[in-house]
Amino acid sequence: MEVVFFNSINISLPFQKIYTRMGFVKGKTSLSDKQKNNIENYIEEAKEALSLRGCALRLDNLDIKPPVIKSKDVIFKSISLSKALEGAEEMLIMGATAGGRICDYIEEDCRKGEVSRSVVFDAVASESVDSALDWIMDYFSYQLRRENKRFFPRRFSAGYGDFNLGSQKIIYDILKMDKIGVTINENFVLLPEKSVTAIIGISKADYG
């Protein structure tokens, strides 16, 4: 299977998650009309600055012998990932980015001391790129249903547990993330900053 590229991902902004990321608690945090209007204006500005793109690859014939996970020439080493993929026949490897423009705005606002706007832009970018992964999964879900397969409940990312951040370079190379405008530095951090990768297991669906 080949990498699938998504050069334009359109999502509905996850407003509740955006507010939660900013520290607002529904039913407890009160905002004046002016504060709410300012935040909503910033959210709209942030939306215009987004350029969501992504890529994904299905890898089958998984061979999982903890801590090693193999699929063809791809090898990961992680007890945590092995447990997360236990029972999987395949895995979907995904990458997504919010684009460089919104990250430039966040950096510029921080330099200028525009804290309020930078916090909103940061929340919008973070939650939107996460929603982009949901969007990619939805894209593959139709295909999986036709094959009587399903995704596992949770996805897993490099940097969690013993799945070290260095594994992100493997994912980056597999997905050819440079084609969606993402680079990776010597510390295995993706750039633009609001870029993510994730892995999720796939197995036969059990409707019994």
What tens digit of pLDDT does each residue of 145-163 get? 999 999 999 999 999 999 9
Q: Which residue has the higher pLDDT, 37 or 25?
A: 37
What tens digit of pLDDT does each residue of 163-187 get? 999 999 999 999 999 999 999 999 9
Does a structural domain hold residue 47? yes
Burial class (CB in 10 A: 0-12, 13-18, 19+), 111: exposed
Does a structural domain hold residue 65? yes
Distance CA 162, CA 149 (A): 28
Domain that holds residue 195: 4-203
Whether residue 76 has pLDDT greater than 80: yes
Q: Which residue has the higher pLDDT, 198 or 31?
A: 198
> Residue 36 maps to which CATH number?
3.40.109.40
Does a structural domain hold residue 89? yes
Residue 87 burial (CB count, 10 A):
10
Does a structural domain hold residue 208? no
Does a structural domain hold residue 27? yes
* pTM exceeds 0.75, yes or no: yes
Q: pLDDT class for 208, splitting at 50, 70, 90?
A: very low
Number of domains in the chain: 1
Distance CA 82, CA 197 (A): 17
Does a structural domain hold residue 144? yes
Does a structural domain hold residue 182? yes
Does a structural domain hold residue 140? yes
Close Cβ partners of 43 (under 8 Å, ≥ 6 residues apart): 13, 15, 18, 120, 124
